Amino acid sequence: MVGLNRSYRQYRGRGSGKKPLIALLLILVIALSLGIFAAERYMVMDGFGQLHLSAPTAPDSAPAPEGAVQETPPEVEISTAEEAGLPDEVEVEIEPAEEKIETHALLLAETPLTEAALAAAKEAMAARGANALVVTLKDDAGRVYYDSASAISRAKKTAKDTAAALAALTADEEVYSIARVSCLLDPLAANSDVSALALKNTGGYIFYDGNNSQWLDPSKDAARAYLTALLPEIAALGFDEIQLCTVSYPLVGKLNKIAYNTTEQGAALARFLSEAAAALEPYDVTLSVECSEQTIAEGADATGFLTLDAVKAAAGKVYAVPGSDPMVSAKALEAGLEYIPEVPEPLPEGSWLSMN
């Protein structure tokens, strides 16, 4: 019996080698379960239904270090618009874009303006649907149709009520007033001082063009000064616009007989326009230039030497008698200029200046 009992105790005491393995597996299973449970918060599913592990993001703010004083944000009271005494809806006024007004202008005859002529002109405007009136204040003969302090004395031609008629015209807010000024074609001024003002021929005498008229020489300082002295006077009368005409050298006649005072004729014209614009700078008036269709279409007039660059540097509007080029309006617009065609009847659509 003693031997049997010893053998039994020895058998029970040896144990089994599988127990440590089972314990290890159990620990791994528990660890894996805990890992999966902890990772669930970082699992995201993409658009294809696949799970991906997303990296944890840092908290919005780190905890304050020990001993630091933590400020409490101020309380913000939120009230309704009614409680604050404000309207429920705030209306915002949006100004509409300024509508471009077409120019429909009538040209008056070259004569001193009178009150009777102004009344008749307004009736004609109403009948034609015009909104602008063009009054000549200096014509191609050099006559000046207002009381000018700068014009040569024998050039001034006015009627007894011219001043009152001009004041009534420029004060009428329903009428856009345009003063027409002939510039370099000026026989009266040219003959008053040939040496200082006039364009000469190769023989040293005053030049006569194909119409037997005489011109001022834009390369001469005195000639430009005479013209630019007139412009502020006209602007002070209250006109909305001043239209400069005959801004060129002669276009007809024996042009080869002209004794040009400069080889840069275009630059002389550009200088005159620049000085004209400077003289009008203190006034709220638009400066415009009448020119040939060639000046607009080709950028320069080969005969008169006026360039489109000189025009657009000084003026905002350009007038011309339309000819064979249908793209004149588009080319003026490309240069940043408003184009007004000078036309007889019938009147076209868009802006126009009626020469009848």
Q: For residues 208 and 185, give the distance between their C-alpha atoms in angstroms, rounded to a whole number.
A: 11
Separation of alpha carbons 242 and 76, rounded Å: 63
**Whether residue 250 has pLDDT greater than 50:** yes
Cα 248-347-125 angle, rounded to 5 deg = 90
State the alpha helices, DSSP H only, in the chain: 2-14, 19-39, 115-128, 162-171, 187-192, 194-197, 221-236, 265-280, 293-298, 308-314, 328-334
- pLDDT at 73 exceeding the cut of 60: no
**CA-CA distances (angstroms) from residue 27 to 33, 37, 130, 343?**
10, 15, 102, 105
For residue 45, what pLDDT is reported? 59
Check residue 349 and give its pLDDT.
87
354 CB-near residues (< 8 Å, 6+ apart)? 104, 105, 106, 107, 128, 130, 343, 344, 345, 347
pLDDT of 289 over the 80 cut: yes
The mean predicted confidence, pLDDT, of the chain is 85
Tell how far CA 199 is from the center of its chain. Answer: 37
Distance CA 160, CA 99 (A): 39
Query: How confident is the model over 22-42, as a mean pLDDT?
Result: 67
Q: How sure is the predictor about 353, in pLDDT bands with cuts at 50, 70 and 90?
A: very high
Per-residue pLDDT tens digits for 156-211: 999 999 999 999 999 999 999 999 999 999 999 999 999 999 999 999 999 999 99
**Residues 6+ away with beta carbon under 8 Å from 136:** 107, 108, 109, 110, 111, 145, 179, 180, 181, 182
* Range with lowest mean pLDDT among 32-41, 124-133, 134-143: 32-41
ω into residue 346 within 30 of 0, thus cis?
A: yes
Residue 81, token pair as written in the block: 């618009």
104-354 is classed CATH 3.20.20.80: yes
The share of the chain scoring above pLDDT 70, in percent, equals 74
**66-95 average pLDDT score:** 56
90-127 pLDDT per residue, tens: 565 655 555 678 999 999 999 999 999 999 999 999 99
Segment 305-323 mean pLDDT: 96
pLDDT at 65: 54
Residue-level pLDDT at 347: 85
- Asked whether the predicted pLDDT for residue 72 surpasses 80, the reply is no
- Least confident range from 7-21, 70-84, 212-226, 342-356: namely 7-21
Domain ranges of the chain: 104-354
